[in-house]
Amino acid sequence: MIAEESEDDSEFSFVTARGIKYLVYFKEADGYVPFASFAQDTKMFGFGPTKETRPGGKLLKDMQVVIAIFEVLYYYISKYPNRILLFVCSDESIWYPGPENKHPRYAKWRSNKFSEWFEDWQRTGVMQAEKIDYNLYGELHCSCLFRSGNPYEVEVRQVIDQTILSKQP
């Protein structure tokens, strides 16, 4: 069961059958697209197990986690159809957080895994959404998500193309 953790739709949680609590959150995307007309409708999106319930070993594959994450996404972009969501994959180890345990392979793996999940979600036909993948600084793997038919769609594609993709090495 998904629970709303905040009154402003910024945090949701769910607990897996193994007792691992996950948080799905939406935060301000300060500075990512400051001059775009859709800046006020842009949020950072993320998810992960909470520190208190994270197991000591490797997280086991659990499709219920994927389903719950996309249920939250469905709810969120249904309620806020003009929202633009930015998903920036962390390059930090989930098991050993800290600057000494960062590596681009973590971000790349997360990006690939999220892309697989997104494609599976799109095959369900529940809600058509768009995803634009890009890199920042050649290492950070990012995605921009929005509901198909979003009124900002053309501008979003232009902003990403002009401000991010055109500056890639």
**Mean pLDDT within 6-11:** 91
The pLDDT mean for the chain works out to 85
pLDDT of residue 62: 78
Q: What percentage of the chain carries pLDDT values higher than 90?
A: 46
Give the pLDDT confidence of 46-67 residue by residue, as tens digits.
998 887 777 666 666 778 999 9
- CATH number corresponding to 4-166: 3.40.630
Give the pLDDT confidence of 121-162 residue by residue, as tens digits.
999 999 899 999 887 766 678 899 999 999 999 999 998 877
| Local confidence band at 107 (pLDDT 50, 70, 90 cut-offs) | confident
| Local confidence band at 90 (pLDDT 50, 70, 90 cut-offs) | confident
* Tokens encoding 144: 């921009």
SS (H, E, C) 125-138: CCCCEEEEEEEECC
* Tokens encoding 74: 């469905």
Q: What angle do CA 120, 44, 130 make, to 5 degrees?
A: 35
Distance CA 143, CA 111 (A): 8
User: CB 159: neighbour CB atoms within 10 A?
Assistant: 22
pLDDT of residue 138: 66
| pLDDT of 73 higher than 60 | yes
Distances (CA, A) of 4 to 26, 57, 124: 12, 28, 24
Distance CA 167, CA 141 (A): 15
pTM of the shown model: 0.85
pLDDT of residue 163: 66
Instruction: Give the full edge-to-edge strand order of the sheet including 21-28.
Output: 3-4, 11-15, 21-28, 42-49, 84-88, 140-147, 129-136
